[in-house]
């Protein structure tokens, strides 16, 4: 423990992603653009939520930050360090990750204790400073306790734990090296609703106690609203809307964000029916993937789309309340949206 310096709040750095472009190879000389010019910032000690449907590129952003995606252009910096092109042994250990699948994220043949000690051993290997067996074990017990699991967990195997418990273990593993930023890549998506709430509360508690910042990736705007101060809405690898989480959840300005908000079920069946009809009216063709070209990526699914939208890709612009939206018609109120649709 002596090797690690005690962090003050001023030490933590911010993560900056600037104009990130990621292309996945699809075989012979063909590529698919998964992330298309995304910029984001995770300020120290706060939470940025990244929302989008599957295939929107949100997990690719996480992979790019972890150095596991084929970045075409752009920059990723943490504090004053550039992260792109770093060999895996030199990556900043201040950035840690919790993955989505609680079953694939723990090695089934190693004890929980061994798995949790692994980041410490890697650090010893990197720095040459040895904590020793007892030091590592003490740290393992400390972190298990932090995430609400008994110290005896260390001697057991992953198969003896439920999905929620495994996710706690994954969080403990991410905390082993005193991270400043934890990337949660759909970290609660595979869990039951009640367990989701427990894990979200655990993350909020850890953030409060340890001051870690979170890059929280999810397809569920409701979950993101619960945990994040800022939100970024992705669609087909592009930013559609970004800004204050509560404001965007309450009054989404981009037609796609609106569709996302509408797609979450509500408790009142009457309201649910009304919302479903509105959603259908606003997003006529769901799931279709028209060629992008110069058009707005959402144009083919958008009720507000005009000739301008298919001709010119909308750039992110800042609205009066501080949020940024990539839509030519963002000023139209949702009510007008319906009206426009019906009168056209």
- Contacting positions for another protein (CB under 8 A): 66-68, 88-91, 93, 96-97, 99-101, 104-111, 115, 118-119, 121-122, 125-126, 157, 159-160, 173, 177
If the CB atoms of residues 183 and 260 are measured against another protein, the closer one turns out to be: 183
The residues facing 282 across adjacent strands are none
If the CB atoms of residues 110 and 300 are measured against another protein, the closer one turns out to be: 110
Task: Please check whether residue 1 is in contact with residue 140, taking contact to mean a CB–CB distance below 8 angstroms.
Answer: no
If the CB atoms of residues 24 and 157 are measured against another protein, the closer one turns out to be: 157
Query: How near is the Cβ of 57 to another protein at its closest, in Å?
Result: 17
CA distance linking residue 99 with residue 167, whole number of Å: 8
Residue 222 three-state SS: helix
HSE-CB for 123 with a 13 A CA cutoff: 20
If the CB atoms of residues 124 and 244 are measured against another protein, the closer one turns out to be: 124
If the CB atoms of residues 190 and 299 are measured against another protein, the closer one turns out to be: 190
Sign of the C-alpha dihedral computed for residues 246, 196, 52 and 97 taken in this order: positive
Query: How near is the Cβ of 92 to another protein at its closest, in Å?
Result: 10
Can you state the angle between helices 193-210 and 163-175, rounded to 10 degrees?
20
Nearest to 115 by CA among 63, 148, 159, 83: 159
Query: How near is the Cβ of 60 to another protein at its closest, in Å?
Result: 13
CA distance linking residue 114 with residue 210, whole number of Å: 24
Query: How near is the Cβ of 210 to another protein at its closest, in Å?
Result: 18
If the CB atoms of residues 59 and 337 are measured against another protein, the closer one turns out to be: 59
Query: How near is the Cβ of 324 to another protein at its closest, in Å?
Result: 30
The alpha helices in 211-287, defined as continuous H runs, are: 221-227, 245-250, 255-263, 269-282
Q: What DSSP state is assigned to residue 6?
A: P
Can you state the angle between helices 334-343 and 255-263, rounded to 10 degrees?
100
If the CB atoms of residues 58 and 236 are measured against another protein, the closer one turns out to be: 58
Query: How near is the Cβ of 32 to another protein at its closest, in Å?
Result: 18
Query: How near is the Cβ of 85 to another protein at its closest, in Å?
Result: 14
Length of the chain: 344
């Amino acid at each position: 423990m002596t090797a690690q310096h005690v962090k003050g709040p001023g030490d933590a750095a911010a993560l900056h992603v600037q104009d990130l472009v990621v292309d996945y190879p699809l075989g012979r000389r063909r590529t698919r653009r998964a992330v298309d010019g995304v910029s984001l910032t995770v300020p120290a000690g706060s939470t940025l939520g990244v929302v989008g449907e599957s295939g929107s590129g949100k997990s690719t952003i996480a992979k790019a930050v972890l150095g596991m995606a084929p970045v075409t252009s752009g920059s990723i910096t943490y504090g004053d360090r550039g992260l792109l092109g770093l060999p895996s042994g030199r990556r900043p250990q201040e950035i840690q990750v919790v993955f989505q699948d609680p079953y694939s994220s723990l090695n089934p043949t190693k004890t929980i204790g061994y798995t949790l000690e692994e980041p410490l051993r890697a650090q010893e290997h990197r720095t040459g400073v040895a904590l020793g067996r007892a030091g590592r074990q003490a740290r393992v017990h400390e972190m298990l306790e932090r995430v609400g699991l008994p110290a005896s967990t260390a001697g057991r195997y992953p198969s003896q734990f439920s999905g929620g418990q495994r996710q706690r273990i994954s969080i403990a593993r991410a905390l082993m090296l005193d991270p400043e930023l934890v990337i949660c890549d759909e970290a609660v998506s595979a869990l039951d609703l009640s367990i989701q709430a427990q894990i979200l509360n655990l993350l909020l508690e850890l953030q409060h106690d340890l001051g870690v910042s979170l890059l929280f990736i999810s397809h569920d705007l409701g979950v993101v609203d619960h945990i994040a101060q800022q939100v970024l809405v992705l669609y087909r690898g592009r930013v559609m809307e970004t800004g204050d989480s509560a404001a965007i959840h309450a009054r989404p300005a981009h037609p796609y964000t609106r569709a996302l908000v509408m797609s979450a079920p509500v408790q009142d069946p009457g309201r649910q029916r009304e919302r479903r009809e509105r959603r259908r009216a606003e997003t006529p063709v769901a799931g279709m993937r028209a060629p992008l070209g110069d058009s707005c990526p959402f144009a083919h699914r958008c009720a507000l789309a005009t000739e301008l939208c298919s001709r010119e890709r909308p750039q992110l612009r800042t609205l009066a309340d501080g949020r940024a939206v990539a839509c030519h018609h963002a000023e139209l109120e949702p009510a007008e949206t319906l009206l426009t649709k019906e009168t056209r």
